[in-house]
Structure 1
Amino acid sequence: MKDKILIVIQARMASSRLPGKVMLPILGKSLLARMIERLQMIKHKAQLVVATSETADDDIIETEANAIGIPCFRGSLNNLLDRHYQAAKLYNADVVLKIPSDCPLIDPKIIDEVLDYFFANRGQFDFVSNLHPATYPDGNDVEIMTIECLTNAWENATRPLELEHTTPYIWENPELFSIGNFAWPTGLDYSMSHRFTIDYAEDYYFIERIFRELYPENNAFSCREILDLLEQKPEIYNINAQYAGVNWYRHHIDELKTVSADKTRQAPTTTIQEQ
């Protein structure tokens, strides 16, 4: 029997920097819808589920998921580990992918490559990602774990950052889990120089511009095509370049054993305008 793959898309309306970002419009559809459209392009057979919270603010996410035709699971607001675990149990998953909803430019081919690596080494790894260490442009985050691995984390994780961010208990304890990493085959490392994720208004302007430039010609545009566009039109790269390398690690660098200070950057205090 083939493993049942579940892709969990974590989404919520609350955001201290850009509230409601998953519902922002991209070419007439929500950012969440555009991201799901890309996830549905992967070659591996997988069940998709949007995992949001039980708070009233997130009713709109359930409504949107239903409109897209994707099931929605609702659970804890702040305990994302529990939200992933409960969704995985509900859908009888054997393999769980964690994909945050702030990655609408994620390349389906990259997801397939990481999945190929995981299954080529099935039984060797409990957890495989392309983040430890990261090499792809930020916003191509893929984390894959066996249900046994996720269950272990759910049963034993206690620190707030482990509960909020789902997987730190796993990759922070390499003595307990067999961990694999898939590096960008190009040999390049753009993880701190290129930002394809959304957390600030400038990120939205950047992502919306990428879609306007590439989507009409090819709705399955790749990471390579984005990079080619940025080389041709550096003004697009500059829209959110000041936030490159800014990630959640910066809030927990003193707590993390396996992440060094050069893998994160503090957010600038000034902003730039849409270009």
Structure 2
Amino acid sequence: MVESVVIVVPARMASSRLYGKVMLPVLGKSLLARMIERLGMIQHQAEIVIATTESPDDDVIVKEAESLNIPYYRGSIVNLMDRQYQAAKLFNAEVVVKIPADCPLIDPRIIDKALEHFFSDKFDYVSNLQPATYPDGNDVEVMTMACLKKAWQNAGRPYDLEHTSPFIYENPLIFNIGNVTWETGLDYSMSHRFGIDHPEDYYFIERVFKELYPVCHRFSCQDIINLLKLKPHIYDINAQYNHVNWYNKHLSELKPVLAV
């Protein structure tokens, strides 16, 4: 029996460094629309749901979801754990895939690889973040609804609620945890940044889309790497932030992780 897979995309306008980043334009569409387009390219069957907040600022996210014909859920402004859980529950998910809206260059092939690994065994949770090897901005987390529910019931630290998954991957004795690494054997997680959090990230992403999208809509992570080798000045656009991510801010709080 095929399990119901729901991709939950947390998205909101508020951002301490770049307000409204998910609605910035690229080739005539919003970054959110471009990301949804890429999510629709995966080989696995899945429903995509945008999880936004009840803030009036996020009315524009709702309008964008409606224009894209993508279902949405509106929930807590600060508790992303609850927002993700309620969205997954509303759409009867059995398997939940979390892809942050600040990953507009996400490679659909990486999502498929994570799903294939997840379904290869009786995993509760699979990601490509423990340890991370892909360029930052290719974040994929796959979990059973039962796993997400247990985390929702038991997690309580502020960054658990903000980032959803630390409670899960810090408890390998409770959850069966798996990890997917980049098949190249390389680790570009701290040297290449494909996500968006700063204006320079936007300029980088916009340039990548302009270079690659007209050639192939379904361009890959490797295509981006090849572009940056050919045109290193594009790499330099946001290189100053390559080592910056939320995980580093909480190193003193995070527990050791065991994943297979």
TM-score for both structures, normalised by structure 2: 0.97
- Rounded Cα–Cα distance in structure 2 between residues aligned with 1:245 and 1:38: 25
**Equivalent position of 2:92 in the other structure:** 92
For 2:36, the equivalent position in structure 1 comes to: 36
How far is 1:48 from its partner?
Answer: 0.3
Amino acid across the alignment from 2:156 = T
Deviations 1:135-192 (A, max 9, x none): 0000110000001100100000010000111111101111211110011111110000
Aligned residue pairs, count: 257
Describe the superposition over 1:98-134 as per-residue Cα deviations: whole angstroms up to 9, x where unpaired.
Answer: 100000000001101111111112x2x1100000000
Supply the distance in 2 between the matched residues of 1:78 and 1:254 (Cα, whole angstroms): 22
Alignment partners' CA distance in 1, 2:80 and 2:256: 21
What stretches of structure 2 of length at least 5 have no aligned partner? none
Match of 2:238 among 240, 249, 264: 240
193, 198, 209: which one aligns with 2:191 = 193
| Secondary structure of 1:128's aligned partner | strand
Task: Work out the CA distance in 2 between the residues paired with 1:258 and 1:83.
Answer: 26
> Which residue does the alignment assign to 2:76?
76
TM-score (norm 1): 0.92
Letter in 2 for 1:105: L
In angstroms, what is the RMSD of aligned CA positions? Answer: 0.8
- Offset, 1:251: 2.6
Inter-partner Cα distance in structure 1 for 2:256 and 2:225: 29
Aligned residue type for 1:13 = M
For 1:137 and 1:106, locate their aligned partners in 2 and report how far apart those are by CA, in whole Å: 10
Q: Residue 215 of structure 1: CA displacement?
A: 0.3
* Counterpart residue number, 1:114: 114
| Alignment-derived partner of residue 167 in structure 2 | 169
Distance (Å, rounded) in 2 between the aligned partners of 1:88 and 1:27? 31
Aligned to 1:214: 212
- TM-superposed CA distance for 1:258, in Å, is 3.0
Deviations 1:16-40 (A, max 9, x none): 0000000000000000000000000
Residue 143 of structure 2 is aligned with which of 125, 130, 145?
145
1:231 maps to which of 224, 229, 232:
229
- 5+ long unaligned stretches in structure 1: 260-275
For residues 74-102 of structure 1, what are the alpha-carbon distances to aligned partners after superposition, in whole Å with 9 as ceiling and x for unaligned? 00011111011111111111000010000
1: distance between equivalents of 2:136 and 2:51? Answer: 22
Match status 1:19 vs 2:22: no
Partner of 1:126: 124
Deviation string for 1:43-101 (max 9, x for gaps)?
10000000000010101000001001101100001111101111111111100001000
CA distances 1:189-234 after superposition (whole Å, capped 9, x unpaired)? 0000000000000000000000000000101000111000000000
Percent identity reads 66
Residue 58 of structure 1 corresponds to 58
- Is structure 2 residue 105 aligned with structure 1 residue 105? yes
| Cα offset, 1:250, TM superposition | 3.0
